[in-house]
Structure 1
Amino acid sequence: MKSYIYLLAMVFATPSVWAAECNMAFTHGVLIAPEHIRILQNNRTHVQISGDTQLFIRGEWINLSAEESLLLQQYSHGLRKFVPEIVSIAVDGVELGLSSIEAMFTGIGSKSQQAEWRELVRETTFQWMSRFVRTNEHFYLAPQSLKELDYFLHAELKPQLDNLARRTVGAVWGALRDALRHSDSNFERSDNQEWQSVGHLVDKINLGLDAKAVELEEKSALFCQRMQELDEIEQQLQQRLPALKPYDVVAEKD
């Protein structure tokens, strides 16, 4: 059983083959909302699609022909279908780890200790959530390639959640042990028992992350194809609307 678990760890420790073969990337931030899509650069909106058929470039409304409106609608629908799905895979992975960690210290320690642990969780996850945001019907994807998303799930998120779990849960057990030492039960827990508990939590988190990585891998070919199709539509729009050329949202990177 241990050798099987080790083999799984080796498989998921490195980026999957498909990611090395797909060079498609988002070169601008994309915000999907029910009423509009915004293309951002340095946190500023440069392009906005309203109602899937109205185009604004740097705040200026662009008059479109029937053919251009149809292309814009196809482009908008493609982004609306794809971006929320890819954001959700990443956010689900982050939330799975955080919910498991936070569940461990619920009801343990003082209010100040819990506030300290939650602040540590927030600080650690801020950089993740600035790259992938899901709030109700709003989705944000920061500029990145499919390779980078694959790396995030395989090689970046796991070790950071592992470290966060050991820091927070280790502190939780320390607080619990101190509290129990002063109780009538005079209970003590050995360091080995503590780290077994932390290790069990880490294993649980890793299994969940492996499932998200497998989900991404299973959809890899479809995701790459969708980005290539979006790139083709985008190129057609740019040929008709030269003002869009500086905002090449979907592109193939070397």
Structure 2
Amino acid sequence: MKRYYFLLLMLCHGSLLSAAECEMAFAHGILIAPDHIRILQNNRTHVQINNDQQLFIRGELISLTAEDVVLLQQYSRDLRKFVPEIVSIAVDGVELGLSSIEAMFTGIGSKSQQAEWRELVRETTFQWMSRFVRTNEHFYLAPQSLNELDYFLHGELKPQLDSLARHTVGAVWGALRDALRHSDSNFERSDNQEWQSVGHLVDKINLGLDAKAVELEEKSALFCQRMQELDEVEQQLQQRLPALKDYDVVMQKD
């Protein structure tokens, strides 16, 4: 049924450009903060925009004309609208799956077992969240294209959350059975019941991730257009400020 719904949605939006068809990409990491934007290479800041109107390249303040400032403000404001939206789609997908998994083992097992499960969750999510960071009003997006974000939701996040859910559910029910064996209760949960619980949790996670994938699909044409517009503004800035040509943030992949 979910597959039919997704295909129907694709037909309804047949005129839209899919994420996989968009060749636009972010070539550098982008950090958005309330008072500045930083462009990073290998975790080092090479370009910084302060308050949407001051430009630093490799730590040097660049002299700007009034026309330069207008272009810089447009570029900054577009990044501020766009990057948090992309990051939020990815982070919401991760948090949706993890909150479902963590809610399952709250109050079950010993403190050391819970710490072990939470550490497993943290280890699993560290690699994901190094690419997408949302902390209060700070957003970070690692270098990537729109089709890489599409693959993250479709081909990477879903199977890894599935594996994590199955691993932790098995551990949780094992701990629960051990605890009940030492209690006055004669309760036993069969293996079939246990895996039904796993399946229910995985279905819940997949349903939420499907919704995020559909959200990305619906917005993919708009996202691609925004990146093309950003690229045009960036090219205008580079023509006026040649030092920026070494830091081509938005680009079209060959």
Sort the TM-score into its range (normalised by shorter chain).
Answer: over 0.9
- Once the two structures are TM-superposed, the CA of residue 72 in structure 1 deviates from its matched residue by 0.4
Structure 2: where are the runs of 5+ without partners? Answer: 10-15
- Once the two structures are TM-superposed, the CA of residue 135 in structure 1 deviates from its matched residue by 0.2
**Partner of residue 194, structure 1:** 194
- Once the two structures are TM-superposed, the CA of residue 182 in structure 1 deviates from its matched residue by 1.9
Measured at CA, do residues 20 and 6 of structure 1 come closer, stay the same or move farther in structure 2, by a change above 3 Å? closer
**Partner of residue 148, structure 2:** 148
**Partner of residue 92, structure 1:** 92
**Partner of residue 25, structure 2:** 25
Deviations 1:155-214 (A, max 9, x none): 100000000000111100110011112222221111111010011000000000111111
Q: Which SS does the other structure have where 1:140 is aligned?
A: strand
**Partner of residue 34, structure 1:** 34
Task: Give structure 1 regions of 4+ aligned residues with deviation exceeding 3 angstroms.
Answer: 5-12
Q: Which SS does the other structure have where 1:30 is aligned?
A: strand
How far, CA to CA, are the matches of 1:139 and 1:106 in structure 2?
29
Measured at CA, do residues 219 and 196 of structure 1 come closer, stay the same or move farther in structure 2, by a change above 3 Å? same
Q: Which range moved further: 77-86 or 173-182?
A: 173-182
Q: Which SS does the other structure have where 2:48 is aligned?
A: strand
Measured at CA, do residues 8 and 187 of structure 1 come closer, stay the same or move farther in structure 2, by a change above 3 Å? farther
How far, CA to CA, are the matches of 1:68 and 1:204 in structure 2?
50
**Partner of residue 167, structure 2:** 167
**Partner of residue 247, structure 1:** 247
**Partner of residue 43, structure 2:** 43
TM-score by length of 2: 0.94
AA aligned to 1:95 is E
For the 8 Å contact 2:27–2:249, the answer to whether it is kept is: yes
TM-score by length of 1: 0.94
- Percent identity, aligned pairs only, is 86
- Once the two structures are TM-superposed, the CA of residue 123 in structure 1 deviates from its matched residue by 0.2
**Partner of residue 185, structure 1:** 185
Q: Which SS does the other structure have where 1:108 is aligned?
A: coil
- Once the two structures are TM-superposed, the CA of residue 122 in structure 1 deviates from its matched residue by 0.2
AA aligned to 1:114 is Q
Deviations 1:227-248 (A, max 9, x none): 0000000001111111000100
- Once the two structures are TM-superposed, the CA of residue 5 in structure 1 deviates from its matched residue by 4.5
How far, CA to CA, are the matches of 1:192 and 1:65 in structure 2?
71
Structure 1: where are the runs of 5+ without partners? Answer: none
How far, CA to CA, are the matches of 2:232 and 2:207 in structure 1?
37
**Partner of residue 136, structure 1:** 136
- Once the two structures are TM-superposed, the CA of residue 20 in structure 1 deviates from its matched residue by 2.5
- Once the two structures are TM-superposed, the CA of residue 9 in structure 1 deviates from its matched residue by 8.6
How far, CA to CA, are the matches of 2:2 and 2:113 in structure 1?
34
How far, CA to CA, are the matches of 1:72 and 1:8 in structure 2?
42
**Partner of residue 102, structure 2:** 102
Q: Which SS does the other structure have where 2:246 is aligned?
A: coil
Q: Which SS does the other structure have where 1:245 is aligned?
A: helix
How far, CA to CA, are the matches of 1:17 and 1:81 in structure 2?
20
For the 8 Å contact 2:17–2:220, the answer to whether it is kept is: no
For the 8 Å contact 2:20–2:146, the answer to whether it is kept is: no
How far, CA to CA, are the matches of 1:77 and 1:145 in structure 2?
20
